[in-house]
A and B are shown apart, each in its own frame.
Chain A
Amino acid sequence: EPEVTQTPSHQVTQMGQEVILRCVPISNHLYFYWYRQILGQKVEFLVSFYNNEISEKSEIFDDQFSVERPDGSNFTLKIRSTKLEDSAMYFCASSGGGGSWETQYFGPGTRLLVL
């Protein structure tokens, strides 16, 4: 069964460093998302992406964040200058390709720790 994959599974970085989190959405999906979950808190929406542009973003998704679909399969989230409060689990999701168009399928997550 197709699934969303994410790399790396864990990343440790120093405050101020740039990180790139990578995702491979389900191949026939058209909509891509990033969410995050700070430890012990609920999952929060960051951004959605469709047709090679951002379709919606939350107030969390400020100028430090950017997303890109550099080729036909990868979807990346870049954090330019990480802060301690960026430590969280980051989930990629995709939807919109046959079956139930609204169902969002999530990857296993990347656990980011900023020191």
Chain B
Amino acid sequence: SQQGEEDPQALSIQEGENATMNCSYKTSINNLQWYRQNSGRGLVHLILIRSNEREKHSGRLRVTLDTSKKSSSLLITASRAADTASYFCATGGGETSGSRLTFGEGTQLTVNP
């Protein structure tokens, strides 16, 4: 499997429910970032977690990182119809800024009203 693989590939939930998306990667990383992409649109940065961090919160988002398992999860609590989008994890491997991001395949989240 390739660097930055998300599962599930697609997730459909009801408004108000929590949505959990997972990401696995293969090589060592410096940081892991989550992005949202609405259909056919640009990538919106959601949250960054560094390799020495285990958990991070931002509003309704909670990200965890387990470097021993090379995996991360993104939890969206109390989902809304507006959260419907594709969610991608992207790993940054470099020690300094300017390193490429390697994106996963993405999870398509549908939140039904």
Contact = CB atoms under 8 A, between A and B. Distances in A.
Given A30-B97, A31-B98, A95-B98, A106 B103 contact: no
A107 B42 contact: yes
Given A106-B42, A108-B42, A56 B105 contact: no
A93 B90 CA distance: 13
A55 B99 CA distance: 9
Contact of A45 (B35, B43, B50, B100): B100
Given A42-B104, A43-B103, A48-B99, A109 B42 contact: yes
Given A106-B42, A109-B42, A42 B106 contact: yes
Interface residues of A, number: 29
Interface residues of B, number: 26
Chain A contact residues: over half helix, strand or loop, or mixed?
strand
Contacts of A111: 40
Interface of B: 4, 30-31, 33, 35, 40-45, 48, 50, 88, 90, 92, 97-106
Interface of A: 30-31, 33, 35, 42-45, 48, 50, 55-56, 58, 89, 91, 93, 95-96, 100-109, 111
